Structure formats: structure tokens, C-alpha cells
Chains A and B, each alone.
Chain A
Amino acid sequence: MTKKPTLGVLALQGAVREHLQMIERCGARGIPVKYPPELHLCQGLIIPGGESTTMGRLMTTYGFLEEIRALVGEGMPIYGTCAGMIMMARRLVEGDQPLLGLMDITVRRNAYGRQVDSFEADIPLRDIDEAERPFRAVFIRAPWIESVGPGVRVLGEFDGRAVLAVQDRMLVSAFHPELTGDDRIHRYFLRLVEERVAG
């Protein structure tokens, strides 16, 4: 029997518990990550939803940016939801804040408007699973992906905008699968982690 992979959830602020529950449901081990050295216990990392400005500042204060960049550079899989996606982008359409700058995408913050414009909708997924059932996606003051570089594959769109994308072993979603009972996207990420662990 293979050992369960350990997935870390960056636990500075935001929807940490929901991701940890999803990870356990998918049969992996989930740990909250509060300090950079804990990153080395993880085979994969999730940056949760929260406030990206808050998270960016806390990540800078405690030296997470360099540490995560180095580990992802060595091939550690990483998944960012909503604020996590903003953190992983190389470019923002407007505003400047500390970013990890990992993925070749340009992101627009609060792209759909304020909270009264937050919504849920069924979106079709590409390459996530064989069933190809639509995914009930929850968008909360959500960003969208304005443009992608050549290495990025778009796996989900809403209203003509990319909202789920992958590049190598980096995955981002503008919406929150952790708030639904649907674990297909987390299972997809876990496969990226298992591929990497298998070498």
C-alpha cells in the first residue's frame, strides 16, 4: 500500500478548514501550514481563498514568498483558489500587492463586482474527469483570468472568461470547490501530487 501524500493548506487567513476537509475526503493527509519550515513536510500546497491583500502582506512578513517559489521551482504541485489564484499570478490587471508570481496568467481582482454580484453557476470542465458533468462553481467577489501565456491550459470557463487553468503542476480556480460537496477538482490536484511523488 502506498503512503498517503501530505497536502499543506497555507493557514495565515481564509477558508483553511474547508480545504483540509476536502483533502481528507480525497484520502490524503491535510495539514495547516503556519510557518515556512512546515512547507517541507508537504508534497503539495493549497493557497486558500481569503483576502489576497491580507495574505500577501502576511506571506511577506513571515518569509513565505521565497520559500514557496523555491519549492514550486523544484516541482512541488500547488493549487490556488480565488485569493490563492491572485497570489499565484505573474500579473494583475490593476493594483500592486506582493505576489508569488508563479503562473503565466494575468488576473483581474474583484472582476465580477462586489458581494451583491457574487454568484453560483454550473460550468463545464475540461480534462478533470471522464464524467464531464458540469461543476457547481461558487464565485465570491471573484477574480477572473484575463489572459494566459502559451504554457497554460484552460480547463474551465464562465461567460467567455477562463476561471480554471493549469500550467505544469500549478492549478488555479477563480471559484471555491471547497465550499461545495464536489471533490473532483481536489482529486485532480491530488493526481498531480501523486504523479510528482511517483517521479
Chain B
Amino acid sequence: MVEKGTLRVKTGLAEMLKGGVIMDVTTPEQAKIAEEAGAVAVMALERVPADIRAAGGVARMADPSVIEAIMEAVTIPVMAKVRIGHFVEAQILEALGVDYIDESEVLTPADEKHHIDKWRFTVPFVCGAINLGEALRRIGEGAAMIRTKGEAGTGNVVEAVRHMRTINEEIRRLTVTPKEELMSVAKEMGAPYDLVCWVAENGRLPVVNFSAGGIATPADAALMMQLGADGVFVGSGIFKSEDPAARARAIVLATTHYNDPKILAEVSRGLGKAMVGKEISEIGRENLIQFRGW
């Protein structure tokens, strides 16, 4: 029997992306630069997060013609974002044939209480998380890949580090928690009990976990890999920098050889100016997008 959209097929694509860099692009030309640099996938957007942040207003799914033009330009997988809870935008992206949907806090949420029931789709979903409970709720809803949120559009890696450390620390703690305590833990985390048990037994998330939100340099990418990320998303960091092609390539090499300081030194050289970063405390808690998601 031939089956499409099985969990194994959905999580399997994320497994194939491991050790790779997924880059935000807004035009077919940028998509080609990303592919040429060695990106494992691109995220098709109308605006990168730094511009969304600057523009304000309501950020929505990109125009299908933008996404289609990018799909035609490259042979690597193309992802696109929908608003949290906006299952109709997701239906549209599935109809377009995108390879992965990001139910993303970077766009303005469409539902303040519920995320999309991702089991109903053939196309796989990636979702953001700032802690283990949030990651397991999204997986419970059918997400086939997780990314830690960081703080998108800031070029500041500090939140990405916080979220990756938080999730890994919570996983480590679960592995030494007695079985009879797991139900209370699940209750406190607001996470499905069976997934909490799975993590306690296996010492990792049941799906791939990438890092996102604030990665701007090869060293940032390698830092997240050494902290245990399976791969990285780079949003504004590439096309808001002085020399996108060189920086994209350097971040790819740094992600592959994250444990080799000599190679990291070599690829970090002469890349021109990185994107201008933002200090998190200046943004103000009410403007942080990492708290979107329930």
C-alpha cells in the first residue's frame, strides 16, 4: 500500500536537513544565492523578520506568486510561513505544494488560543518553541520538526542560546526523573504525558530540533550547533549583511564544521559587515515575538 503524509515521511525530510542551514529569502535571485551557497532549504517570505519588525502592522502569509517564483528558481526544499492558528493559510500553502510549513510567531498570530491541527495535513510543519513544554505541545498537534525561537530579526543570538539551553536542560532533567513523577511533570509543563515519557526514556526530542532567531555570523551558527542544535535557520542575518553570498557560504561551512575552530577562523575572515544587531532589553518585553505561541 502506498501512503503519503505519514509521520515517518514528514519527520524524515527534517532528518535529511540535519547539519544544514535553512535561509530566509524574499526573491528568486536570493533563493539562487542561498542554493549556490549550500543551503539545505529556503524559507520563502515577502519580508525578512528585521523588516517585519521595522514595518509593524499585521504580518501575513506571503503572496503565492512570491512563493511560486522561488519554488521555480531552486531544486532544494522550499518552506513558507503561516500565522499561528491560521489553518486556511496552511491549506493554501499545501495547495501550492510547498515542502514544509512554518507555523510562525514571526507573523501576527491569527488565533490567541489554538494552533493548527497539523495532523490534518499531508505537508509537514515546523513550529517554534522556547521550552520543552511548548515543543511537546506542538509535536502533540502534529509538528514534524521543532525550532527554538530565539528572537527573530534582532541579529542577537542571546535568546536562541537561552531557548536551546532551556530545552536541553529540561530534557536532561527528565532522563533522571522517576517514572511515577512524570505525570506531574507533564501537568506542570502542559505537555502530553506519552511524549514526556518518550523524552524521559530517549533523552532527546522525538523530532529534529533546529535553532532560529538571531543567528548572524558563522560563529553564532557553530555556537548553536555545539549547544546541540540539529541545524540552523538564518533569517535576516544573511540578506541584511554587506556580502550575502560570502556570508551564506561561510555559515554553511561553519554549521558543518562547528567543532573545528581552525575552519571557523578561516571562514569568519573578511565577510564584511554583519547585520546591525539589537539589544533585547531595548525592544521591551511587550514587543518580543518569542512569547507568541500557547
Contact = CB atoms under 8 A, between A and B. Distances in A.
Interface of A: 11-18, 34, 49-51, 53-54, 57-58, 61, 82-83, 95, 109-110, 113-122, 138-141, 176, 179-180
A64 to B, nearest CB: 12
13 contacts: A34-B260, A51-B16, A51-B76, A58-B252, A61-B253, A110-B75, A115-B13, A118-B5, A119-B3, A120-B9, A121-B2, A122-B1, A140-B12
A16 B18 contact: yes
Contact of B77 (A82, A120, A141): A141
Interface of B: 1-6, 8-9, 12-13, 15-20, 35, 38-41, 75-77, 94, 97-100, 122-124, 252-253, 256-257, 260
A99 B87 CA distance: 41
Interface of B is mostly: loop
A15 B8 contact: no
Given A115-B100, A138-B9, A141-B99, 15 more contacts: A13-B40, A13-B256, A14-B18, A15-B18, A18-B15, A50-B16, A50-B20, A51-B17, A58-B252, A82-B16, A114-B97, A116-B4, A116-B94, A117-B4, A122-B1
A121 B2 CA distance: 5
A167 B16 CA distance: 25
Nearest to A51: B40
Given A54-B40, A120-B9, A115 B20 contact: no
A14 B16 contact: yes
Q: 8 tightest CB-CB pairs across the interface, nearest first? A: A115-B99, A13-B19, A51-B40, A121-B2, A57-B38, A15-B15, A118-B9, A54-B38
Contacts of A50: 16-20, 40
